Structure 1
Amino acid sequence: MPNFHLELDSNLVIPTPNFVPSSSGLLLPRQSANPKAYPLAIDLFCGAGGFSLGFMQAGFQVVAAADNNVHAALTYMHNLGAYPCQFHYGSEDDRIQLEKALLSQCREIQSDSTVQIPFISGGGWRKAHPDVPGCPHFYLGDICQLNGEELLGWLGVKRGEVDVIIGGPPCQGFSRMNRNRNPNDPRNRLIFEFARLICEINPKFFVLENVPELATMTTPEGIPVLDAFCQCLDERGYSSYQALKSSLKTQHNWVSTQSTNPAKSKAKSRDKADSQYEQLDLF
């Protein structure tokens, strides 16, 4: 069989804004021609970084993290941060608190001869794992002040391009260790800020820390917290209420005490002033 040699005529390859030539000469969609090396993750309520560490070890790049605790922020960025890293603040007071914590740490290092390594972003765990991309953005402050569009702007990506949002909203109000669990605990409402940011960023999926009593706690309005969480995502178009409930049942054998969306239940019983299904005004 004769050998055939095909040469591409470069004049026939016409790049466009949406297509670029590959090394083989084929025109490929610009997005597929430059694939991401790592799936992208955002860690909300990140604490010292345990959740992020697991995802980094699993092959994700955590591109942004957020918490309101300055000491957790320093621990996180020392171990998992990129160099250089960029801090963003909820308020000027958050910036001042971070600077004070850094100065205090520097004084301790100078007075303690046993401490050899100063604070450097990525100078902890990542120093021994330089092949793992560090987190380049950290938001320090009140999560209620964090805007999804603004966060995406820091990263240079569009809504829907982040692969996963992970996080563990404060569990103290739900924890069995808290003998004074109260639906009115203000920390319990932060799970709905997590829902808000999911809807604003629109990741392909999200991972929420599993706290057992989350399945039994109710909101001040008497709606199960997980029902209310599903309602928030449904109302903002992230997924359907029933699909979210089905996912929770499949993964954790959680059975809702409500058969329908609380908002729809309210509409059916609007004439009952004392209805237990008052629609949440969360945002």
Structure 2
Amino acid sequence: MKIVSLFSGAGGMDLGFIKAGHEIIWANDIYEKAIETYRNNIGDHIINADIKDISSEQIPDCDMIIGGFPCQGFSVANINRSTEDERNKLYLEMFRIVNEKKPKYFVAENVKGILSLAKGKVKEMIMSDFESAGYNVTCNLVNAAKYGVPQLRERVFFIGVRKDLNESIEFPPPTHEEPPSHLLFGLKKWVTIGEALRDIPEPEEAPHIPNHEYTKYKLRFNGYLGHREIDPDRPAPTITARGDNKGGVVIIHHPKNHRRLSVREAAIIQSFPMDFVFAGSKTDGYRQIGNAVPPLLAFNLAKCFPVYKNTVKS
């Protein structure tokens, strides 16, 4: 299937869809280091421009649009969606492009907190907007650990299917579960952070491993994200980062709790392959990884959609 990717970042979601047999024909972001990473690892079809400056005519026809619009687009105190409100513009841009391009399908990803904004009214608004544009929309809260990602990462996916297709797309059932419940459901046990990093040598011992460098920021153990002791026998807490290139990032501890994760180790926890190299500084790498959709999670979702060859929307 031919896919357009918005807010692509380093390409985590795109990589998962490509692995499932789909083709990304156009992508967009404004974070220069993420764009460099994308071009080096995935392809030259990514455009470095503000989505607000791109008309739908500049975007090729496609079968699907995917993207994780930044959640800064919504305020609990203001859900009136005024086009003059800067906080709302990025969501409105994704809606604009889907509404004007009318692909067969769309997938929009966001943080779990969007479900509770304004007591659920933001979620209802999003679904209503896309319904009015001609789509049947489902909303799915999923935990990446249930799909083999060594991380307790909960994310929301809005899946839209154009109404005239008379189809439905369901998020795939989990492949992994917390032990010993995995035995009850006949699933694999979830992958722990200790297992995921078991064979990764210390950075000082492996200078040949790309991006295997880490912040020397002093460890603290106070229970807050980035300062909590890590249990090696469970999936990692959420790998997170700010949505833009300002301020610091949050890097969790290594499962041995003797230092923070390296950029490469954070990428492994996000299910990026070892040969996927991130451009820029350590901070750039951490941020790109924290903002990404885990490729393995995206791959499981992508398998739910039909794989068309050499087609565009009809």
State the TM bucket, normalised to the shorter chain.
0.3 to 0.5
Question: Which of 1 and 2 has higher RCO (CA within 8 Å, sep 6+)?
Answer: 2
Q: TM-score, normalised by structure 1?
A: 0.43
TM-score (norm 2): 0.39
**Structure with a larger share of its residues in helix:** 1
